[in-house]
Amino acid sequence: MMAAEDTRKRGLGRGLSALLGDEPADKGGAMAPAAGPVGPITTLPVELMQPSPYQPRKHFDDEAFATLVESVRDKGVLQPILVRRDPKDERRYEIVAGERRWRAAQQARLHEIPVVVREMNDRDTLEVALVENLQREDLTPLEEAEAYRRLMNEFGHTQEVLAKAVGKSRSHVANMMRLLSLPASVQRMLDEREISAGHARSLINAENPEELAKEIRRRGLNVRQTEDLSRKTKPAEDKKMTAAAARPDPNISALEHDLAEAIGLKVTVQAKSSGKGTMTIHFDSPEQLDDVIARLKDEDLS
């Protein structure tokens, strides 16, 4: 138990560290995808390989896969797939990254394909499988969101680290993870492509996302129309806050001005009739946010 906790505390796991380039590349110059000795590129019979139980992707795009099969049939598998020895059978191999290429090779009736064999434990295998799929952008929105969630919860990675690893913005990672807060029925509609990720994001704060999702499907609404519909059906408390914001309180305005002067950033305060409310600090870059956090920690506000 302690070993697992220590690994989480190190921030970058060994697998993700290698994918980010924090470990040496192999002799061929490729970025090392996980901890363990790097094997040379070799070939293995396709029948000795099998998919990994840690594969995050559940859906394969038929059209894109058919295109890949034709490419493999014409040119072969150009990029080696990453495998490790099957923990349950030393004579066989488990695919860590490259399952689509392996499947395409089978469809193209290839008998052997190039591979790199690596020594990896279960933890590294899962981590690399998740990040490799995210980098290739061939996951569904929910598979992508779930991959981010697992990498954060099980490996202790931050949104900043994940954004760097997959070439996305931190806000993109955060917005995708918010999809997991939607009801199961709405997630199912997204998975079955009855609504898009843009539709789904518009429903996150809606009062009744399930009914709105059905309305989107029935009327064939686009994302802009969905956003308008979602705003019209905001919870009553949200509508009260919106109405209050339309009539600014001079005392609140003065407070916003004083706070903005103190921290150098725009501040918005929304007060409810109950005396509760929210304060929002607007920033334009991660550096501005880091500066505010540092100043708050130092209690340096005047």
Mean pLDDT in residue range 32-53: 74
How does pLDDT run across 214-236, given as a tens digit for each residue? 999 999 989 888 888 888 765 54
Q: Is the pLDDT of residue 186 over 90?
A: yes
Of 23, 99, 132, 144, the catalytic one is: 99
Per-domain boundaries in the chain: 2-127, 182-234, 238-298
Q: How far apart are CA 130 and CA 139, in angstroms?
A: 10
pLDDT at position 135 over 70:
yes
The pLDDT-based confidence of 61 (bands split at 50, 70, 90) is low
Q: Where does the pLDDT of residue 109 fall: very low under 50, low under 70, confident under 90, or very high at 90 and above?
A: very high
pTM above 0.85, yes or no: no
Torsion (CA) 269, 274, 276, 280 in degrees, nearest 10: -20
- Domain 2-127 part of CATH 3.90.1530.30: yes
Q: Is residue 238 helix, strand or coil? A: helix
pLDDT at site 28 = 33
Q: How many residues does the chain have?
A: 302
Give CA–CA dist 229/202, Å, rounded.
9
Q: What is the mean pLDDT of the chain?
A: 77
Instruction: Specify the DSSP class assigned to residue 80.
Output: P
99 as an active site residue: the answer is yes
